[in-house]
C-alpha cells in the first residue's frame, strides 16, 4: 500500500505529514512524497509583468524553476528524514508541470492521499485551499484524508451513516484500506428522528465492517437537525476523525450550507476521511 503526500506550499504540511506517518505505520505502508514546481503559475506571474519587462521575465523562468526545484528538494529531504526516523519506507520525486495534473497522475498509482485542509500547490497561490484534493475526491480518483491542524493522533473515529451511496462507498474504502482497524474507538453514527430509519442507515456500513473483520465497534442513533447534531455528537465523544461521503461539488465555495460534509469542511476541527 502506498500513501501519496503532495507537498503543499502552506505550513500545515508538517501537521498533515505527521498524520500520514501515523497511517503508514499502522498499515505497514509506504509514502510517496511528491513536490511539483508549478510551471503554469510561474508563467502566469511572467504574463503580468510590464511590457518592457516581459522579455526579462521570460528569461528568468528557468532560474525561477531551478530555485523552486531546490526549495522543493529541501522540503522533500526533511520529510524523507522524518520517514527514515519513523521506520516508514518512502519514495520521493520533484516534477515540473501543472500541480493538478501531476498529483492526479500519481494518485492513480497510489491507494490513499493525505493532505491538509489549507493545502495549496500553485506557485502564485491562485488555487483555492483544498481545491486540488477535493476535486479528486469528487471524481473518485482516490480516497482522501484531510488532516486538521495542529496535529493530533487518531483515537476516536465517528463514521457518518446517511444511508446514501457515497457514505457506503466511504465506509467501503476505509474498510478496504484497513484504516483504524482495532487501534482506536470506532463509532457508527446515524442521525434520524425514526429509530427504524436510523437502523436502516446503519445496516450497510455495519455489514461492510463485519465482512472486513473489524473488531467490535459502537453504534448510535440520535435525532435532531443533522449537521448540528452530528457535530455535537463528535464534540461529546471527543472525536478526532470523521468518515464521510461527498456532496458532489468541485469547489468549497459551492458547497451547500445544510450538508454535513460541508459543515465539517468549513469548521476544519477534525481529520476527515472522504470518498465519493
What's the whole-number mean pLDDT along residues 44-70? 71
Q: Are residues 239 and 269 in the same domain?
A: yes
Q: How far apart are CA 127 and CA 121, in angstroms?
A: 7
- Name the pLDDT band for 165 (thresholds 50, 70, 90): confident
Residue 145's pLDDT is: 97
Q: Which of 147, 166, 191 is the last residue of a domain?
A: 147
Domain extent at residue 241: 156-274
Residue 81 sits in the same domain as residue 135: yes
Q: Is residue 70 pLDDT above 80, yes or no?
A: yes
Instruction: Give the residue with greater pLDDT, 42 vs 89.
Output: 89
Choose between 46 and 73: higher pLDDT: 73
Q: For residue 99, give the nearest of 179, 169, 24, 9 by alpha carbon.
A: 9
What average pLDDT score do residues 192-204 get?
95
pLDDT tens digits, 168-186: 999 999 999 999 998 899 9
On whether both 36 and 135 belong to a single domain, the answer is yes
Residues 6+ apart with CB under 8 A from 268: 117, 148, 149
Instruction: Inform me whether the pLDDT recorded for 166 exceeds 90.
Output: no
Chosen domain end from 101, 127, 147 = 147
Q: Are residues 178 and 129 in the same domain?
A: no
Same domain, 184 and 260: yes
202 and 226 both lie in a single domain: yes
Say whether both 244 and 138 belong to one domain: no
Per-residue pLDDT, 253 = 44
| Same domain, residue pair 18 and 112 | yes
Percentage of residues in the chain with pLDDT exceeding 90?
Answer: 70
What pLDDT is recorded for position 47? 67
Same domain, 119 and 11: yes
Question: Cβ-count burial of 87 within 10 angstroms (0-12 exposed, 13-18 middle, 19+ buried)?
Answer: exposed
**Number of domains forming the structure of the chain:** 2
Q: Are 208 and 191 contained in the same domain?
A: yes
Amino acid at each position: 500500500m502506498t500513501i501519496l503526500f503532495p507537498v503543499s506550499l502552506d505550513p500545515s504540511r508538517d501537521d498533515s505529514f505527521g498524520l500520514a506517518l501515523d497511517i503508514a505505520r499502522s498499515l505497514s505502508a509506504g509514502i510517496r512524497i511528491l513536490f511539483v514546481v508549478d510551471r503554469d503559475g510561474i508563467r502566469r506571474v511572467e504574463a503580468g509583468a510590464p511590457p518592457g519587462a516581459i522579455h526579462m521575465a521570460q528569461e528568468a523562468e528557468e532560474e525561477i524553476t531551478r530555485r523552486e526545484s531546490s526549495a522543493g528538494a529541501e522540503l522533500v529531504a526533511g520529510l524523507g528524514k522524518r520517514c527514515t526516523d519513523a521506520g516508514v519506507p518512502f519514495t520521493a520525486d520533484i516534477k515540473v508541470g501543472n500541480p493538478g495534473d501531476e498529483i492526479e497522475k500519481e494518485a492513480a498509482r497510489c491507494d490513499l492521499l493525505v493532505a491538509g485542509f489549507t493545502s495549496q500547490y500553485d506557485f502564485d497561490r491562485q488555487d483555492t485551499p483544498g481545491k486540488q484534493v477535493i476535486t479528486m475526491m469528487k471524481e473518485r480518483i482516490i480516497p482522501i484524508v484531510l488532516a486538521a491542524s495542529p496535529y493530533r493522533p487518531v483515537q476516536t473515529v465517528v463514521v457518518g451513516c446517511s444511508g446514501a451511496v457515497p457514505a457506503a462507498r466511504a465506509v467501503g474504502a476505509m474498510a478496504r484500506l484497513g484504516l483504524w482497524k482495532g487501534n482506536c474507538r470506532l463509532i457508527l453514527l446515524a442521525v434520524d428522528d425514526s429509530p427504524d430509519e436510523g437502523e436502516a442507515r446503519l445496516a450497510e456500513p455495519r455489514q461492510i465492517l463485519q465482512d472486513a473483520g473489524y473488531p467490535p465497534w459502537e453504534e448510535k442513533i440520535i435525532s435532531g437537525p443533522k449537521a448540528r447534531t452530528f457535530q455535537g455528537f463528535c464534540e461529546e465523544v471527543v472525536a478526532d476523525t470523521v468518515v464521510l461521503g461527498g456532496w458532489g461539488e468541485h469547489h468549497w465555495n459551492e458547497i451547500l450550507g445544510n450538508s454535513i460534509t460541508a459543515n465539517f469542511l468549513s469548521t476544519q476541527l477534525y481529520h476527515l476521511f472522504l470518498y465519493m
